[in-house]
Every structure is written in structure tokens, then in C-alpha cells.
Amino acid sequence: MPEALLDPSRRRPTAPHIFAGRIVGLLEAQVGCRATGLWQAIPNGDTMTSDESQIRAFLERRTAAQRSKDIDLLMSFYSPDISYYDAVAPLRFTRAAEVRRNFLRWFDGYVGPIGLETHDLTIVTTEDAAFANMLHLDSGKRRGGIELPIWVRETVCLRRLAGAWAITHEHISIPINPANFQIWFASEKDAPARGGGRSIFGLVASSLRTRLGLRRGAVEKLA
């Protein structure tokens, strides 16, 4: 009998052996990366797509709760120790109770449901953390009968807690005009800085013109 058959160390590896060895090597590498926290460095389209889809659906459900002013449902999307930066004073709202009161203040400014559209949503995920940024068109009939559609910017940070995603930080902002420190309201999503925005007076005038059917000059005199 040939010596190569008697001594395993002298056998030449066959194609199935080589393939099996490569699979084992990949599995060992992936297990090692999970253990050292470097798993994100290995592309894994299925996992990342699944997480992104979960967060996209999560944010859609949150927006539905905002539109319907369902405060209990809305707060279920936030961590108890949420840190919230809004476009209104103070600088920040901390923990769920303060954030809840701020949402109720926002709800109270509208008569009926809130029109809220999400645009240009971008989501980045890791194993147990994620962040997303987007633009919102906030609209609806406000107290006093005025309708003022407003574009706002939003960034949210999320963590997977006990197997479920929760928002741990949220930041809402509106640009200002540095020349006069007045709020700059974008006329549309991709409006340029020069000529693409309005002050609060221009925004109210536009709303009144639409509501009352007045000509531009008449409304400007009222403003």
C-alpha cells in the first residue's frame, strides 16, 4: 500500500477538503469578530438590511402616533432616559416625563390631526445602535385657524434594549438667518439659502393670503 495512504500528513488535499477548510476558516473569522466587537467590519447585507427595515418601520409607526396625537403610543418609542433637543426652549428636555409634556404642548398647538411627512430618510445601523436623519414637513390647522407648513430637520439616535429598538436621543432644528437672527423657514425641501426662505412674517402673510384670498399687496399691508 502506498505510504501516502498510510501517513495522513503526506496526502494531497482534494477540492472538497480545500472548500471545507475555507468555510471553516470564514466561520472562525466571523465568530472571532463577534467576540471582539468587530463584526460590523465584515459586510453582512442580510443583517444590516433587516435592522434598517426594522428601524424604518419603527419610525413610520412613530410618525403615525405623532399624526394622531396618541401620546401613550408615541412615548413607547422612547427610552425612559431620553435626551431631547427641540427647536423650542429650553436647551434640552431630559427623561420621559419632560419629553411627554413637550409633546403635549406640540399637540395642543393644532386643531385636529398633525400633517407630518418624512423626506430623505437616511439610516445607519450597527449591531445594537443606530442613527437616522431626515426632513419633516410639519403642517395642519393651528390654533387661530392659521395653517403654516414648516420644514424641520431631525436626527434620532437609537439603541437596541432588551431586543427592541428605542430612541435615546432626538434633535429637532430649524435654520436661522445669521444676518438678523430670525428663523429661516424653507419654502421647499431643497430651497437655496438666498431667496429660498421666508421669515415668520412672510410665512404668516402667505397663509393669510391663501386663507382669505387676498392679493399679495393687501396682505403685506396687513403684515
User: Residue 33's pLDDT is what?
Assistant: 35
This prediction's pTM: 0.69
Mean pLDDT of 183-211: 72
13: left (phi over 0), alpha (psi -120 to 50) or beta: beta
pLDDT tens profile 26-72: 344 443 433 333 333 334 445 457 999 999 999 999 999 999 999 99
User: Residue 214's pLDDT is what?
Assistant: 55
- Looking at the DSSP bridge assignments, the partners of residue 110 are 142
Task: Indicate whether 174 pLDDT > 50.
Answer: yes
Please, what is the average pLDDT of the chain?
A: 79
* Amino acid identity at 217: G
User: Residue 185's pLDDT is what?
Assistant: 85
User: Residue 130's pLDDT is what?
Assistant: 98
Mean pLDDT of 155-178: 95
Poorest-pLDDT segment among 4-18, 50-64, 152-166, 170-184 = 4-18
More confident residue, 111 or 32: 111
**Assigned C-alpha cell, 63:** 410618525
- Strand pairing report for 164-173 and 176-177: unpaired
- Looking at the DSSP bridge assignments, the partners of residue 177 are 182
Mean pLDDT of 137-141: 94
The H or E element spanning position 144 is: none
Nearest to 79 by CA among 169, 156, 171: 169
User: Residue 197's pLDDT is what?
Assistant: 72
Q: 15 falls in which pLDDT band (50, 70, 90)?
A: very low
> How many residues appear in the chain?
223
User: Residue 181's pLDDT is what?
Assistant: 85
More confident residue, 121 or 45: 121
Task: Indicate whether 74 pLDDT > 50.
Answer: yes
Task: Indicate whether 83 pLDDT > 60.
Answer: yes
Most confident range (mean pLDDT) of 10-24, 34-48, 180-194 is 180-194
User: Residue 18's pLDDT is what?
Assistant: 41
Task: Indicate whether 19 pLDDT > 50.
Answer: no
Poorest-pLDDT segment among 26-35, 73-82, 119-128 = 26-35
Nearest to 137 by CA among 119, 151, 126, 155: 151
Residues forming CATH 3.10.450.50 domain(s) in the chain: 44-174
Pick the CATH number of 44-174 from 3.40.50.2000, 3.40.630.30, 3.40.50.300, 3.10.450.50: 3.10.450.50
